[in-house]
Structure 1
Amino acid sequence: MCMNGGMFVFELFNWYSASWSILALAVLEFLVIAWFLGLDKYFANIREMKVNVGFTKYYFQITWKIVSPLLMIVLCVLTIWQMAPCSYKDYVFPNYIQILGLAISGLPMVPVVLMFAYYVCTLGFQQAFSTKNWKKA
């Protein structure tokens, strides 16, 4: 980014780096914890760590299962809907650079999706989210 076209490369990374993929990863995190793993297992793990959640458990159940995923999905859709072509001053990047930028923005999701698919395919859905083989420290 220190050469002649460095400002254009910087602007491309800046434009696409923290966009829809970060919101999509947040939605995936909420779905994995709240729906796939299950909040009952999650709170059982917290109780194993000697943390008393108390009545706030119900607040977290509502927000993690319903409110937060819906808000993140709405934000992700609005981000994609309001996405404009990358530009620097009055120069608009060509279409193939826009596609490269979209690929850059999708890169953070690739390892998460690949590892999720790997574990579910090799272990099965129930075993992938089981905690019975966890060892105590």
Structure 2
Amino acid sequence: MAHEKGVSVEKVVTQGPGLTFVTYPEAISRLPLSPLWAVLFYLMLLTVAIDSQFGFVETINASLIDEFPKFLRHRTKTLSALLCLLKFILGIPLVMQGGIYVFQIMDWYCALLSLMIFSLIECIVIGWIYGVDRFYTDIEMMIGYKPCIMWSICWKYITPCLLVLMLAFNMLTVTPVSYKAYTYPSWAIGIGWIIGLISLIPIPVCFSMSLWRLEGTLKQRLKEKMKASPNWRPQLDAFKGTFDSVTLLQKKELEDMI
């Protein structure tokens, strides 16, 4: 394709919608039985989109239900319908004439920092604060056996190091958002950074609020917050006995080692 057009490869293979709806279809059209591959390709896109929507809706749905169980536990269908309606309304500007420019800002900055920072925080919390051993106990209670030790090494060392390297590389190579020949104004770039960072704001805010409710010095409060809750148990009574037996077995093995 690049040879036929007389341009470099990077000008043919673009990111974003152009890759999906321009480059891939043109490449598929050159294959044998191209109509079949085109149908399969767009069917794959449809199923991926539907599957992604399940994750987007259920993440917010489950969070709200866990936060307000008495009010929302028996209204899951209504909540899901309202969330889908709200997301549909919010998505309308993205399909208008200038929607591609809004989409480009969101796509440029949302994936730049927030996803990697979220993943890094999860690795730190699970691997070092909550503890891999406790997490292994939870998994053993659910599936009946402990995962391979390689997962522990990945969660504690390999994945955080890779995320830090990727985050540093992105910050060093970041460029202002652009779309084709259009250069965004400064205020649009500022909005992009706000959109990208706004999902991270609840983490320091909620952590600060939880520290504020405790008593003692800052060091004592931080130490208290770094401890796992002694009342941590499965919510369903049917699984509490299994969790307790696994925990007691783990404690006995630790005592035998000592």
Same fold (TM over 0.5): yes
Q: Quick check: 1:6 aligned with 2:6?
A: no
How far 1:4 sits from its partner (Å)? 4.9
Contact 1:16 1:104 in 2 (8 A): yes
Q: Quick check: 1:78 aligned with 2:169?
A: yes
2-side partners of 1:81 and 1:105: how far apart?
A: 17
Shift in alpha-carbon separation, 1:15–1:76, aligned structure 2, 3 A? same
Q: Per chain length, whose mean CA-contact separation is higher, i.e. which structure has more relative contact order (CA < 8 Å, sep 6+)?
A: 1
Once the two structures are overlaid, the 10-residue window that deviates more, 3-12 or 59-68, is 3-12
Counterpart of 2:154, as a letter, is T
SS in 1 for 2:230: coil
How far 1:121 sits from its partner (Å)? 4.1
1:132 is aligned, of 230, 249, 252, to 230
Aligned to 2:188: 97
The number of residues matched between the two structures is: 135
Contact 1:31 1:65 in 2 (8 A): yes
Contact 2:178 2:184 in 1 (8 A): yes
Contact 1:119 1:128 in 2 (8 A): no
Q: Runs of 5+ in structure 2 lacking a partner?
A: 1-92, 215-220, 237-258
Root-mean-square deviation (CA, aligned residues, Å) is 2.2
Q: Runs of 5+ in structure 1 lacking a partner?
A: none
How far 1:48 sits from its partner (Å)? 3.3
How far 1:7 sits from its partner (Å)? 2.9
Counterpart of 2:230, as a letter, is K
Contact 2:108 2:177 in 1 (8 A): yes
Larger Rg: 2
After the TM superposition, list the runs of 4 or more consecutive aligned residues in structure 1 that deviate by more than 6 angstroms.
none
Higher-helix-fraction structure: 2
Once the two structures are overlaid, the 10-residue window that deviates more, 126-135 or 71-80, is 126-135
Shift in alpha-carbon separation, 1:127–1:101, aligned structure 2, 3 A? closer
1-side partners of 2:226 and 2:209: how far apart?
A: 10
2:157 is aligned, of 66, 69, 82, to 66
Q: TM-score, normalized by length of structure 2?
A: 0.47
Counterpart of 1:29, as a letter, is E
Contact 1:30 1:69 in 2 (8 A): yes
Counterpart of 1:45, as a letter, is D
Aligned to 2:39: none
